[in-house]
Amino acid sequence: MRPDQWVQKARADFVTEVDREAERLISASLRERFPDCAIVGEELSPQLPPPGTSNPAPVFIVDPLDGTTNYLHRFPEYAVSIAALVSGELIAGVVLHVSYGVTYYATRGGGAWRNGERLAVSSLREPEQALIGTGFPFRDLGQLDRYQRQFAAVARGTAGLRRPGSAALDLCHVAAGRYDGFWELRLAPWDLAAGTLLVREAGGVVTNLEGTEDVLGHSSVVAGNPAVHSWLLKTLSDG
């Protein structure tokens, strides 16, 4: 897709016809199967039902293209992410790594999987051996000084940091044990809902920076195996 076809919604925040058409197709398919469902997505309705809402109809949280900038630059780290909530509880999630045709999926109480292979978070306990994923606050530069302090603190205590640019896939990498931990200062529900369930069903922990498990607002996120999550949460707070 040529740069003159990109639509810039905000600084470093692009949307394309691919995003819109993929979201339309996903929404049509979900509504055909679940006529009473609600669908939350960046280009559709950006609001989740209020906490405590009891409704047997599912709510689907959809990101039709997580990693749009990567897609536009032909960098192969982008995904489709869909999660399902019932009465406010995450019950299912799926992430398709489009470039490689790899599907990650999880159900509540049913484990996390990659193309039929069961996933588990890493067993590494020593932070100095850990590989940590992260995401830069490229849209909200007011957070950059805070993030740089956190980055320095984590870099001093670990084996390395990575930033490919798709939070949905970053969380899949945690679930698969490739990353030992991951953090980002602010993500939308559609960025992290499916990945959050994947990490938890793979034996990991996902919270915000305050240590609260509810990350489905526009929230910070800290994920990892239990030992690294605990260390990362403290290190980020100190940083």
The rounded mean pLDDT for the chain is 90
pLDDT digits (tens, 9 = 90+) for 62-104: 999 999 889 989 999 999 999 999 998 999 999 999 999 999 9
In a 3-state reduction of DSSP, which class is residue 50? coil
DSSP result, 25-37: HHHHHHHHH-TT-
What long-range pairs does 226-229 form, CB within 8 A, spacing at least 24? 227/124, 227/125, 228/122, 228/124, 228/125, 228/127, 228/130, 228/132, 228/180, 228/181, 229/181, 229/204, 229/205
* Angle (deg, nearest 10), helices 167-175 and 189-201: 0
The SS3 call for residue 123 is coil
Confidence of residue 141 (pLDDT cuts 50, 70, 90): confident
Quickly name the fold that domain 127-238 has.
D-Maltodextrin-Binding Protein; domain 2 (3.40.190)
Side by side, the strands of the sheet bearing 205-207 are 160-162, 131-134, 181-187, 219-224, 205-207
Q: Where are the beta strands (DSSP E) in the chain?
A: 7-10, 13-15, 38-41, 59-66, 79-86, 89-97, 102-107, 111-114, 117-118, 131-134, 160-162, 181-187, 205-207, 219-224
The boundaries of every CATH 3.40.190.80 domain in the chain are: 127-238
Positions of CATH 3.30.540.10 in the chain: 3-118
Contact 233, 227 (CB under 8 A): no
What's the CA gap between 172 and 100, in Å, rounded? 14
Closest CA to 16 of 2, 30, 32, 33: 2
Which pTM was predicted? 0.91
Give percent above pLDDT 90 in the chain.
75
Residues forming a β-bridge with 96: 80, 103
Is there a contact between 235 and 153 (Cβ–Cβ < 8 Å)?
yes
The values of phi and psi at residue 235, to 5°, are: -65, -40
For the domain covering 3-118, report its CATH number: 3.30.540.10
For 192-220, what is each residue's pLDDT tens digit? 999 999 999 999 999 999 999 999 988 99
Which letter does DSSP use for residue 119 in this model? Answer: P
